């Protein structure tokens, strides 16, 4: 009795239009004082945001467990409106510090905000079949550069993401990636304005 070989089901990725702002709730950055790993999060006394886009306007706090550095950020105010931060690039969108999670990959710089962001990118890059279920207008995966989406670069990019996972567990200044420095590559501000009836 013969049996047909069993071929594993290709790994699928379902893109439901995930926005990059979703991953700005926790951002690992280079500490401006000691050069170690610092953390940028919404101010802890605030209620949880109702929408991911709200993360771009909420007051932020930068803290470094290594040297004790603390800094605060608030969105620019224009009358009763708040001007939100613009995510993207190798600097955090609030304090403009270099991201901690950066590494050289395929002749470029691969970056992420935190471990959840790394995992989301790895799930997309590692998939053999990619299905889109939403408009790509603001979706993070649709806007990834071609080199990250190329099947020929898959192994390189996955290896780079594995490096970022290791970096996420390290915090000393000596652990800082040689790729983690200022580049001035933040995206241009597109005038994102959010109107609130009361301050945070």
CA 157 to chain centre: 15
In percent, the amount of the chain with pLDDT more than 90 equals 62
**In whole angstroms, what separates CA 45 from the centre of its chain?**
23
Predicted pLDDT of residue 182 = 87
On whether the CB atoms of residues 140 and 19 are closer than 8 A, the answer is yes
| Predicted pLDDT at 185 | 84
Q: What is the dihedral of CA 193, 113, 101, 144, to 10 degrees?
A: -80
CB neighbour list of residue 183: distance below 8 Å, 6 or more residues apart: 89, 90, 91, 98, 109
Work out the pLDDT band at 7, boundaries 50, 70, 90.
very low
CA 112 to chain centre: 4
Q: How does the average pLDDT of the chain come out, rounded?
A: 88
User: What is the rounded average pLDDT of the residues 6-30?
Assistant: 80
Would the pLDDT of 137 be above 70? Answer: no
Do 69 and 62 meet the contact criterion of CB atoms below 8 Å apart?
yes
Average pLDDT in the 26-37 region? 98
What is the residue whose two structure tokens read 């001035």? 184
Selection from 49-58, 76-85, 153-162 with the highest mean pLDDT: 153-162
**Bridge-partner residues for 76, per DSSP?**
83
For 23-40, what is the mean pLDDT? 97
Paired tokens of 200: 């945070």
CA separation for the pair 27, 25 (Å, rounded): 7
């Amino acid at each position: 009795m013969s049996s047909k070989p069993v071929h594993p089901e290709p790994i699928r990725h379902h893109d439901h239009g995930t926005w990059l702002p979703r991953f700005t709730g926790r951002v690992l950055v280079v500490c401006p004082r000691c050069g170690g790993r610092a953390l940028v999060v919404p101010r802890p006394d605030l209620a949880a945001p109702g929408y991911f886009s709200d993360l771009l306007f909420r007051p932020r706090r930068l803290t470094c467990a290594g040297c004790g550095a603390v800094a605060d950020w608030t969105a620019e105010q224009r009358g009763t409106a708040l001007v939100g931060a613009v995510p993207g690039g190798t600097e955090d969108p609030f304090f403009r510090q270099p991201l901690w999670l950066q590494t050289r990959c395929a002749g470029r710089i691969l970056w992420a905000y935190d471990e959840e962001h790394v995992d989301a990118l790895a799930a997309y890059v590692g998939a053999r079949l990619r299905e889109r279920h939403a408009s790509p207008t603001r979706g993070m995966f649709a806007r990834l550069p071609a080199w990250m989406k190329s099947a020929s670069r898959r192994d390189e990019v996955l290896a780079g993401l594995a490096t970022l996972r290791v970096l996420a567990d390290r915090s000393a200044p000596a652990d800082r990636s040689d790729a983690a420095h200022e580049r001035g590559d933040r995206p241009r501000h597109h005038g994102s304005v959010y109107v609130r009836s009361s301050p945070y």
